[in-house]
Amino acid sequence: MSDPAVVVLRQVALPLAEKIAGAIGARVDLRGRDFDKTLTHIGDLFLAGQPVIAVAASGIVIRALAPFLSDKWSEPPIVSVSESGSAVVPLLGGHRGANRLAARIADLLDSTAAITTAGDSVLGVALDEPPGDWHLENPEDAGLATAALLDGARARLSGSAEWLAPLKGRVIFDPAPDADAPLVLRVEGAEPLIYRRQSFVLGVGCARGCSPDEMIGHVMRTLADAGRAAGEIAEVISIDLKSDEAAVHALARYLNVPAAFFPAERLEEEKPRLLSPSETVFREVGCHGVAEGAALAAAGSDATLVIPKTKSANATCALARRGGNASMGLSRGQLSIVGVGPGQSAWRTPEVSRLLGMADELVGYGLYIDLLGQAARGKIRRDFALGEEEDRCRYALERAGEGRRVALVCSGDGGIFAMGALVMELLDRPIDAGGVSDAARRSEIIHAPGISALQAASARAGALLGHDFCAISLSDLLTPRETIVRRFKAAAEADFVIAFYNPVSRRRRTLLTEARDILLAHRPADTPVLLASNLGRPDERLVVRDLADLQVDEVDMLTVVLVGSSASRRVSSGDMSAGAGGTWIYTPRGYARKIDGDLA
Ligand code: SAH
């Protein structure tokens, strides 16, 4: 988890914030000149997975975060500290570090940490969140057991573990029946809690396209036959060729553990230890056994197989007990093509923020990564210039192929005149025709949609997209000029509202004028045209012109041009900050003609 950010809302709280930041090695993030911006900022930090210490009233922080609360397992710790320093409240992520952080700050300020999670404040341990290599089989029963313990119910624990030591005095500790037995905490009035140590790794292999049900069924039967429990498995391991195999990932999700992969050469090193080596497997994938080899490779050189390979029609599995030098394979890489919206962070989806937060590396046009501000902090980034689109996508795919989580940052929507399609093209090409490596092809690809410039433009100025519309890019780099002209002739004839993307470039300035002249033959000279530049960015500019007055010099590369249909209209507002300089423009839903005009 990254370092916490200490955020202040009011100047008076700055010395306190600096004291906290100094003591815990964090930084003071914003000096809170603008209240709304600070609230948005706290939301952005949260979505980027960053721990936050807000020197501000809890209510303010709760309001800032309320729209984004969803998943308690992945949220970062959030602590609020009163401006006087007299109270420290871990608001969210108590068990993910907020309680600890709050206790530390309270200690520093000589005040009180308001720890409210039942388990650790009184019991000294959270029964529903055992440490790293332990698994609670029935987390749904932990609440009742905790409450009963707090009420003084009688309880016994069979087996012992360091992390349960705080229960001494409340619970009678019995010896475990055998070394492999689970820890069982029996609290009167509640279901027994069963904790298992995740001491095993599961190696799996399968035929291409094996059904997830078959894989899961085979594994569960094998475990049951051997008297082992699913909760004892720490990870699912296979060969890298299987890193895109749905059944392997479905199994890992089912067991709620990570999946990791080794290359064939590494698995082949395990040949001497395999119990059932196979020449056929060697010919197919380059090692003599996938399931056993993978389990042994991950479990370590002093590990042992406890379940040799078993096989169903299409799946194999083997189980090894982890030794002292267990090693993790590579995770499957991930490439997310994220549309970060036109500019401001409030126009970014929570999914995109989450993917950015998870990414190891950001790849994109430098300006777009810069726009992310806080969300890009602390990430490896690789900037590419305009024009280097293919290199950018290839690089992103190959980095994902090496097991990284890469976010390919696009403005607006990543699938609209952006990198989404180019990534698909590269995957669609054979390697000798400029495609990408097999490893890159096996990475997980996620397209995360965003708000495109046309939506932002229409919304800022009213509702110009209220009826049928189309989008045309005027970039003639990849599209022949005649095709572009044919498209705007067709759109003009069909009376679509049109969004022109890439309206000009440094060397290409005439197409927009050509479009205007063609359109003028089909719609009125006073048809509203919206020139929207730098939407959602500090120098945003919105201008409405009559179609006949559209001048290319008013337009640059950071402008999207929306031309109304013959039905589009203007409404003026008394408020000069409404719409584009006091004018709203919209296209009515029904495609009736302009009512007043026609009646007159
Ligand atoms: N994927 C982007 C489009 C990229 S093409 C999207 O969905 O919005 C680049 C063109 O998009 C620019 O030439 C401009 O026409 C438009 N554009 C992108 N961001 C913009 C913004 N913030 N303001 C105005 N136009 C923008």
Mutate to test the pocket of ligand 1, among 560, 561, 563 (most ligand atoms within 8 A of CB): 560
Q: Which atom of ligand 1 is closest in space to residue 450's alpha carbon?
A: 7
**Cα 362 to averaged position of ligand 1 atoms, centre (Å):** 19
Residue in the structure block whose two tokens are 């069963």: 194
**Cα 412 to averaged position of ligand 1 atoms, centre (Å):** 6
Mutate to test the pocket of ligand 1, among 345, 365, 417 (most ligand atoms within 8 A of CB): 417
**Cα 5 to averaged position of ligand 1 atoms, centre (Å):** 32
C-alpha of 365 from chain center: 20
**For residue 342, what are its two tokens?**
């036109």
Q: How far apart are CA 228 and CA 135, in angstroms?
A: 14
Instruction: Look up residue 16 and give its amino acid.
Output: L
**For residue 303, what are its two tokens?**
């590990």
Q: Which atom of ligand 1 is closest in space to residue 343's alpha carbon?
A: 22
* Closest residue to atom 9 of ligand 1, CA basis: 502
Find residue 473's DSSP bridge partners.
501
Spell out where 416-548 has E strands. Answer: 444-448, 462-463, 469-473, 497-501, 528-533, 541-546
Burial of 187 (0-12, 13-18, 19+ CB in 10 A): buried
* Closest residue to atom 19 of ligand 1, CA basis: 342
Mutate to test the pocket of ligand 1, among 365, 411, 505, 535 (most ligand atoms within 8 A of CB): 411
**Cα 395 to averaged position of ligand 1 atoms, centre (Å):** 23
Q: Which atom of ligand 1 is closest in space to residue 533's alpha carbon?
A: 24
On whether the CB atoms of residues 59 and 82 are closer than 8 A, the answer is no
Q: How far apart are CA 155 and CA 165, in angstroms?
A: 14
pLDDT tens digit sequence for 331-381: 999 999 999 999 988 899 989 988 998 899 999 998 888 888 777 877 899
CA-based nearest residue to 227, from 185, 265, 182, 268: 182
Mutate to test the pocket of ligand 1, among 370, 451, 501 (most ligand atoms within 8 A of CB): 501
Find residue 157's DSSP bridge partners.
173, 185
* Closest residue to atom 18 of ligand 1, CA basis: 453
Return the percent helix, strand and coil in the chain, to nearest 5: 40, 25, 40
**Cα 48 to averaged position of ligand 1 atoms, centre (Å):** 24
**In sequence order, which residues have a C-beta less than 8 Å from that of residue 409 and are 6 or more positions away?**
338, 340, 356, 362, 363, 364, 365, 368, 369, 372
**In sequence order, which residues have a C-beta less than 8 Å from that of residue 373 and are 6 or more positions away?**
44, 345
On whether the CB atoms of residues 6 and 29 are closer than 8 A, the answer is yes
Q: How far apart are CA 179 and CA 196, in angstroms?
A: 11
Find residue 361's DSSP bridge partners.
380, 406
CA atoms within 13 A on the CB side of 87: 10
Q: Which atom of ligand 1 is closest in space to residue 536's alpha carbon?
A: 22
Pocket of ligand 1 (CB under 6 A): 342-343, 410-413, 416-418, 452-453, 501-503, 532-537, 557-560
Residue in the structure block whose two tokens are 């559209």: 550
On whether the CB atoms of residues 28 and 53 are closer than 8 A, the answer is no
**Cα 342 to averaged position of ligand 1 atoms, centre (Å):** 7
**pTM of the predicted protein model:** 0.81
Torsion angle of the four alpha carbons 17, 23, 25, 26, in this order, in degrees rounded to the nearest 10: -10
**Cα 530 to averaged position of ligand 1 atoms, centre (Å):** 14
**Cα 136 to averaged position of ligand 1 atoms, centre (Å):** 49
Q: Each residue's pLDDT tens digit in the chain (600 positions)?
A: 577 889 988 888 889 999 999 998 888 876 556 777 788 888 888 887 889 999 998 998 998 888 788 766 568 899 999 999 999 999 998 767 888 888 889 989 998 888 777 666 678 888 888 887 899 999 889 888 988 888 888 999 998 888 888 888 889 999 888 888 899 999 999 999 999 999 999 999 999 999 999 999 999 999 999 999 999 999 999 999 999 999 999 999 999 999 999 999 999 999 999 998 999 999 999 999 999 999 999 999 999 899 999 999 999 999 999 988 888 889 999 999 999 999 988 899 989 988 998 899 999 998 888 888 777 877 899 988 888 899 999 999 999 999 999 999 999 999 999 999 999 999 999 989 999 999 999 999 999 999 999 999 999 999 999 999 999 999 988 889 999 999 999 999 999 999 999 999 888 888 999 999 999 999 999 999 999 999 999 899 999 999 999 999 999 999 999 999 999 999 999 888 899 989 999 999 976 555 554 444
**Cα 352 to averaged position of ligand 1 atoms, centre (Å):** 17
**Cα 464 to averaged position of ligand 1 atoms, centre (Å):** 17
**For residue 287, what are its two tokens?**
């090692």
**For residue 247, what are its two tokens?**
């059944």
Q: How far apart are CA 405 and CA 571, in angstroms?
A: 48
Mutate to test the pocket of ligand 1, among 455, 479, 558, 559 (most ligand atoms within 8 A of CB): 558
**Cα 338 to averaged position of ligand 1 atoms, centre (Å):** 14
